[in-house]
Structure 1
Amino acid sequence: MSLTITTMLPPFTLNLWRDLQVMLSYDFMRQAFLAGTLLSIVCGLVGYFVVLRHLAFAGESLSDVTFTGALGGAAFGINPFISLLATTVIVALAMGGLGERLRGRDVAIGTVLSWVFGVGVFFLSLFTAHVSGTGTGFSGVTVLFGNILGISLDQLSTIALVSSGVVLVLVLFARPLLFASLDPDVAAAHGLPVRLLGLGFMVLLAITVSEATLAVGALLVFALLLLPAAIAYQVVDRPFVALGLAALLSIVFTWLGIVIGFYTGYPSSVCISLLAFLCYVMIVGGTGLRMEFRARRIRELLILDNR
């Protein structure tokens, strides 16, 4: 669809206002920008806590689980979003219940997740053999890579409702969650329910991963969830400023990815992930070079002082 649409459109020009008018003249583009903005805000905010709480592995694990959950629902005639949401929340609660015991069990968890992904491939074969082509409007490729330019009005409504709920919860519990994330022992000493906050956040993470899968797919949701937040964590020290920056960067990457996908025909989700990755590499690389230069300069000054 994207390639056909691209050939019917005027080429990209330096008249950005005109280009914007052309893009927004299509209903699917307006829906893509709106859905992308909502998802970006949620992923940026939740992703910062993922980085802060060192839950990158958990986020990657849940993105794999969504693949199996969605395809299982499609194969057995259940709403794919409900199926992947329920599966992801259950797994997230199990991870949260392990607490500190989750650390040091990477091999065991990785083995289980590879099995879960294999079950997802089995569900995909069942879906392809018995359900595909029956008018369900569901595709295994969409689960893997997403299709933000194909977001329907029903999906947009679901994304708006879920995103609003997640943001509201984060706003209400941002301060205690930050406290529990930065120093859980001191937070517990002050009477905060650290374990309950951890479980609640895992549920929010599962919900965020589930709804983002609709747009960018199970394999690429991790990039939108983690990379903007990781960049903000690298360049900003103040937590609430970093939260805002993570959401802003996520929006920028999503908008640029949608535009590139619109004019080139390449999958927008891949463009979003690639932009976020390149930006992260430049930021981390630049920070590393500055630290190396500073360390070298300090060594030179020490040598001069000792002469």
Structure 2
Amino acid sequence: MWAFPFMVNAFRAGTVIAVGAGVMGWFMVLRRQSFAGHTLAVVGFPGAAGAALVGIGATYGYFAFCLTAALVVAAVPRAGRESEGREAAVVGTVQAFLLACGFLFTALYKGLLGGVTSLLFGSFLGITTTQVLVLLGVTVLVLAVLAAIGRPLLFASVDPDVAAGRGVPVRLLSTLFLVLLGAATAEASQITGTLLVFALLVMPAATAQALTARPVLSLALSALIAVAVTWLGLIAAYYSPYPLGFYVTTFAFAGYVLARAGGLAGRRRPAPLPAGGPA
């Protein structure tokens, strides 16, 4: 397997994507913005299709649509239950409309678009070294900015009201985080497809947070789990005729189920009796 350059590049790209998705997804799940993250992943599909329709590179479409959608979602305040419901309504509306636009663009396009399946599920085959380097550059930049705002973002994610009272720019941090999430999603979607990248965003992070409540350990676990399921998926897909996306999502889902089952079993375990025995 390692004798083929396309597989070597697939593992390189998969590792970069998994680390970025694991870290960004951890904050996304903590902030309860999985629905928003799903929308940012999905809108890459109409972005790529629309770019092909007007005759420009798909990369421009991915970034234009993902970043614009991120700014639209960020424009909705998130304070209070009413605002959370308003955000969900805006996100759902944007997602439904842009998905419909994506299918319209593919219907109007007269050339070789590569099929809807490739845009939705992507392909790790045929990745060039240049693509890996560009992907690495974008991921490093996104993670560097996230590291710079990590502590106040964590504070604002756990308790936004107290953070705002302490002078933390909660609204600015929320907007910046969504823009970073949109940029990371736009870059990764070009290889993973618009649906698989969301699986890497949400499932490793949810698994890590089910295993431990310690932020640093949970964040590291999220990235490690994402890398593990990506590598396992690539190996399984190489030795079988079935698609990569199925294996990655299946391994990630299995890890989440095991983590949740282990947590439930631990909570149901009876407490040990005192040293003197029962009273």
Alignment TM-score, normalising by the size of structure 1? 0.82
- Asked whether 1:86 is paired with 2:68, we answer no
The residue number in structure 2 matching 1:6 is none
Task: String of CA shifts for 1:124-152, please: whole Å, max 9, x gaps.
Answer: 1122xx1217xxxx543221111012322
> Residue 264 of structure 1: SS of its match in structure 2?
coil
Task: String of CA shifts for 1:208-249, please: whole Å, max 9, x gaps.
Answer: 211221232112221111100101111111111111110011
Unaligned runs of 5+ in 2: 272-277
Q: Residues 284, 220 of structure 1: CA spacing in aligned structure 2 closer, same or farther, 3 A cutoff?
A: same
The residue number in structure 1 matching 2:100 is 118
Which sits farther off after the overlay, 150-159 or 242-251?
150-159
Q: Residues 286, 85 of structure 1: CA spacing in aligned structure 2 closer, same or farther, 3 A cutoff?
A: same
From 23, 27, 30, the counterpart of 2:5 = 27
- Asked whether 1:171 is paired with 2:147, we answer yes
| Alignment length (residue pairs) | 271
Q: Residues 185, 219 of structure 1: CA spacing in aligned structure 2 closer, same or farther, 3 A cutoff?
A: same
Shift of 1:177: 1.1
Task: String of CA shifts for 1:168-220, please: whole Å, max 9, x gaps.
Answer: 11222211111111111222222221111110000011112112212321122
AA matched with 1:199: T
The residue number in structure 2 matching 1:60 is 38
Q: Distance in 1 between matches of 2:177 and 2:246?
A: 27
> Residue 161 of structure 1: SS of its match in structure 2?
helix
- Asked whether 1:249 is paired with 2:245, we answer no
Q: Work out the percentage of aligned pairs sharing the same amino acid.
A: 39
> Residue 151 of structure 1: SS of its match in structure 2?
coil
Say which one has the larger Rg: 1
Alignment TM-score, normalising by the size of structure 2? 0.90
- Asked whether 1:153 is paired with 2:134, we answer no
> Residue 76 of structure 2: SS of its match in structure 1?
helix
> Residue 150 of structure 1: SS of its match in structure 2?
coil
The residue number in structure 2 matching 1:231 is 207
AA matched with 2:84: R
Q: Residues 207, 75 of structure 1: CA spacing in aligned structure 2 closer, same or farther, 3 A cutoff?
A: same
Q: Distance in 2 between matches of 1:253 and 1:118?
A: 31
- Asked whether 1:132 is paired with 2:108, we answer no
Q: Distance in 2 between matches of 1:160 and 1:288?
A: 38
Q: Is the 8 A contact 2:71 2:175 kept in 1?
A: yes
From 148, 163, 166, the counterpart of 1:187 = 163
Runs of 4+ in structure 1 deviating by more than 3 angstroms, as ranges, are: 105-109
Report the RMSD for the aligned CA atoms in angstroms: 2.1
